[in-house]
Structure 1
Amino acid sequence: MSRTVTVSAEEPNGFVANIRMGEQDFVIDESGIGQGIDTGPTPYDYILSALGACTVITLHMYAKRKQWPLQRAEVTLVHERVYSADCEHCDDKAAKISQITKKLKLIGNLTHEQRLRLEIISSKCPVQKTLQAGIVIQTELESESL
């Protein structure tokens, strides 16, 4: 199912983005970024949230289908810019790549084998597959209307 998302930002503070998804409204607020103040979720927070939500839902769907006793799935995510393995000592700052680290916490009376299988399944969620495959983004400029 494809959903349209509309995002807008206006002056006097163009660092607050208003997001409309269906009938729901969200905000991304980077207005305090210059002062080092955390004023709200950032765009990367939403990417990590989408990946985390997809991961735990995928784990529960799989465990339910297998009738495994997964009571709670939790994932902690961190995004950082790191050097690729072949460029650990590069002086070029642009040589860094984006990396997301996922730490899984699986709660329930699971066997060791079930836990290992769920670790593998955690990378099968559609959002992770999309992020790893890459995305083509096509930009189209609409005519100006006042």
Structure 2
Amino acid sequence: MTQPEPGTVVVTDAGGGRYTQRITTAAHEFAADEPQAAGGDDAGPTPYDLLLASLGSCTAMTLRMYADRKGIPLVRTTVRLRHDRIHARDCERCETEAGMLSRITREISFEGDLDDEQRARLLEIADKCPVHRTLTHEIAIETRVV
């Protein structure tokens, strides 16, 4: 298979396991799968693991870029994420009022000689990462058979 052009991701049955998928980008190839408990071979991260990894890596990269640009002495950022489903009625800031909705919990820790103002500003910047913005704004997904 030829590598897709930059900005395109191709996902194909890997042919090995029941749910194992081969993910190919312009420069990388890796696997996704379901855990054995869900009938997969656990040959790679789950789709939700990949979603969380996208948000976490984008958050950390955005914070690194901002800190470097502003001269903030950030040594390391660690982002811990978890996805679960909750009842809409348990969500104080959600528009949805009935049924279930997805919740992503993101915990960020900073290493470095940072004051309270720098930490607060970095926390604000975390919400400005492109993946965070994508996930929290309207998304149009167009699907077609080719």
TM-score (norm: length of structure 2):
0.83
Q: What is the CA-CA distance between 1:29 and the residue it aligns to?
A: 1.5
Unaligned runs of 5+ in 1: 89-93
Q: What is the CA-CA distance between 1:39 and the residue it aligns to?
A: 4.4
8 A Cα contact 1:13 1:31, kept in partner: no
Q: Which has the higher helix share?
A: 1
Partner of 1:91: none
Quick one: which amino acid aligns to residue 75 of structure 1?
V
Aligned residues: 137
Q: What is the CA-CA distance between 1:135 and the residue it aligns to?
A: 1.6
The 5 A counterparts of 1:61-80 are: 61-80=65-84
For residue 23 of structure 1, the aligned residue among 24, 27, 41 is 27
Q: 2:28 and 2:35 mapped to 1: Cα distance?
A: 22
Greater shift in the superposed pair: 127-136 or 37-46: 37-46
Quick one: which amino acid aligns to residue 19 of structure 2?
F
1:105 aligns with 2:106: no
Quick one: which amino acid aligns to residue 128 of structure 1?
H
Cα gap change, 1:7 to 1:37, in 2 (>3 Å): closer
Quick one: which amino acid aligns to residue 77 of structure 2?
A
Name the larger-Rg structure.
1
Q: Give the share of equivalent positions with the same residue, in percent.
A: 42
TM-score (norm: length of structure 1):
0.83
1:141 aligns with 2:145: yes
| SS of the residue 1:22 aligns to | coil
For residue 52 of structure 1, the aligned residue among 53, 56, 76 is 56
Quick one: which amino acid aligns to residue 84 of structure 1?
A
Alpha-carbon RMSD:
2.5
Q: 2:42 and 2:16 mapped to 1: Cα distance?
A: 19
8 A Cα contact 1:32 1:39, kept in partner: no
1:22-58: CA deviation from partner (whole Å, max 9, x where unpaired): 1311101126243587443000111100100100111
